Amino acid sequence: MTDQPPTDAGKEAFALYEAGKYRESIDLCTRLLKGSDDTSLAILVATNLFALAEYNEAEAHLRDLLRKMPESSYLHSFLGRVLSARGDGRAVAAYARAVQLDPANEEALRAYAAYFSGKRDQMSAIPILSALARVSGKKDDARSLIRALIECGRGEEALSAYQDLLGGTGADAEYIDALMVAGRHRDAAAASVETFRRTGDPAFLRQYLAALSAFDRPQALKIFPRYLGDISDNDLLFDYVLLLTSEGRCREALEACERLLARSPHPIHQLVACELIAATGQTELARECYEALIRDGVAGMDDPETLEMSVAAYEQFLRKAYSPETVPACYLETVSRDPNVVSLTRTGLFYASFGDMDTARDWLYRAYRLDFLNGGIEYARFLARQGETRECEKILIHILTNTQRTADLVKVAEAVIGGDEESGAGRRRLLDALVRRFSTETGHLGPEGTEVFARVCLRAAGVALAGGDYVRCKEYCLHGLDLSRTCTDAFFDVIWRCKEATVAELPVFPFEGRGGGVAAGASAGTAGTDLSKNDVEEPDLGLDERETALVAFLRQHRETNEEELRKVLGTRRVSGVVNRLIKKANDAGVPLIEKQGMGEHGEIYVYCGK
């Protein structure tokens, strides 16, 4: 068979895919790939698997292709799409790599920017959206850039972008918001009211009244009721409630809020109603409403953030209305009865606010036992505040050891480095553990994780400097500088203090000269330390019986094929076992198995571990 399959057969495989016959297309591609190395067919296999929502298999195929074509922006972008569809946070790292390889890759740029926008980090999204708008020339991308500039308070830049990219100053939502953010409220009011009269869209009426409220609040208060009688718009009514509240007209605000609740009993609307009921002096009714809202939130547990907000408002209300000396019975009955992590942590923290640390500890420990990540982080913070550094470190290392998702790793790191410098000064073991764990995830971190890793390096560098370990301090600083985009000055400050304290300067990294030699001093054993190999062992991959047998066989024979493995594993579904194993190894950053294409006896597998 020739290296390339017949053109007609390749077209047939693609036609099967377009017809939605994904399994048949895969089967044909597999037959054509025997004895061939046609990457287009291999990509088509991954495309079919993606269409079938078999994301693990698609990922394994793409990673196999990337070993052969690591510089392919398209493959990295496709991998990002597969990981994103599976809800895997490593998708953003794949998109970032795709953009690095091809800054004109529209799909990767769009997905990369969407990651930041989803995190409400519009400052980081703006340069990416700017590049995307230039590359694509699409109005939707231009509007995304303008919206990001508006949300960052950069109104004049948003207006300029609107003019340059959309070619005019037509009064649409983005243009009016940009005027508002730029402080041009009268212009915004004129543009929005004219557009509302022309279109009848309540969104423009909301913009008009918001602009009017900024420079003529009495007039806005007069106009709101006039329109609310004719237009049934919940957002407009809620704006009116908030405007009345800001003016201290709580009874009128409550009446308007009750009308809103009759149409839209949203938890946020209910929470505002509770606050207004309390503000009008109806203390017992307010307590009943707070408690009903919290019970509903506990029963559903579909929005933990809103539940926590409601409980925090309830605590503030209780302190103001009743001046309790400890946690009251009504709180225990309402918040603490249900064993969910929000209720347990809030109860513990409420007890701590009254100085009852023993009871607080019990509640927070229960939260940790229920949810080792979220409850554990709160428990560790409590221990740190109590000066129990060793126990705090023990809890955080346990969480770190059992954390699988990159997003959870970032959450643990932020808990460690989020406090003041002094609170982390005695945590060298914990910081070293974080550095080791982050080092195994560098290919999957994404922008947020990379920046957090940089901050971990900065904190570790400060600890090393305080302990007189100047070489290690410089290592952390140089690695952190390579990662960071936001705290570079802090790294230079630590390096400067380190050099001031150093008596004899020793190089950290080897310098390969033109003749291939290493700079003087590197041979002394001080250079080239790899942070990821700082007393770290190969991680436990959590292999099952078949995966363990597969690894043992490959270690012994170094190379095998699909037919041999069927006998070893006692199953015909060898590819599934291999793909799961490859995924586990990739997740842990451990090279283990590489596919070498099709042979006479099926897929060929080569062992590439230690």
The total of other beta-carbon atoms located within 10 Å of residue 319's CB is 12
The chain-wide mean pLDDT, for the chain, equals 84
Q: What is the pLDDT of residue 366?
A: 96
Task: Give the CATH fold of the 85-168 domain.
Answer: 1.25.40
Q: What is the pLDDT of residue 555?
A: 73
Task: Give the CATH fold of the 545-607 domain.
Answer: Arc Repressor Mutant, subunit A (1.10.10)
Q: Per DSSP, what are the bridge partners of residue 512?
A: 518
Q: Which amino acid is at 192?
A: S
Whole-Å CA distances, 565 to 326, 343, 584, 604: 66, 51, 19, 10
Q: Where do the CATH 1.10.10.10 domains begin and end in the chain?
A: 545-607
- CA pair distance 158, 143, nearest whole angstrom: 9
Q: Residue 561: enclosing H or E segment and its boundaries?
A: strand 559-561
Task: Tally the residues of the chain.
Answer: 610
Q: Please write the tens of the pLDDT for every residue from 405-448.
A: 878 888 888 888 875 444 444 477 888 888 888 887 776 676 77
Contact 61, 595 (CB under 8 A): no
Whole-Å CA distances, 488 to 344, 418, 432, 439, 443: 39, 18, 21, 20, 22
Q: Per DSSP, what are the bridge partners of residue 593?
A: 607
- Written as six digits, the tokens of 273 are 């109603």
Count the alpha carbons within 13 Å of 513 in the hemisphere toward its beta carbon.
6
- Rg value, the chain, Cα: 30
Q: Residue 606: enclosing H or E segment and its boundaries?
A: strand 602-607
Q: Where do the CATH 1.25.40.10 domains begin and end in the chain?
A: 1-70, 85-168
Name the architecture of domain 1-70.
Alpha Horseshoe (1.25)
Q: Please write the tens of the pLDDT for every residue from 355-399.
A: 999 999 999 999 999 999 999 999 999 998 998 988 998 899 889
Q: Per DSSP, what are the bridge partners of residue 470?
A: none
- CA pair distance 509, 478, nearest whole angstrom: 10
- Beta sheet of 593-599, edge-to-edge order: 559-561, 602-607, 593-599
Residue with tokens 């009714």: 285
Strand, helix or coil for residue 439: helix
- CA pair distance 578, 569, nearest whole angstrom: 11
10-residue mean pLDDT series, the chain (610 residues): 52 89 90 80 92 91 89 92 85 87 90 83 87 91 93 92 80 89 94 91 92 93 90 91 94 95 91 96 96 91 88 96 94 94 96 96 96 93 90 89 83 79 58 85 74 90 88 90 85 91 72 42 39 48 76 75 77 78 74 71 73
Contact 529, 546 (CB under 8 A): no
Q: Which amino acid is at 610?
A: K
Task: Write down the number of H helices and E strands in the chain.
Answer: 32, 3
- CA pair distance 380, 352, nearest whole angstrom: 14
Q: What is the pLDDT of residue 236?
A: 92
Closest listed residue to residue 524, CA positions, set 508, 536, 500:
508
Contact 572, 603 (CB under 8 A): no
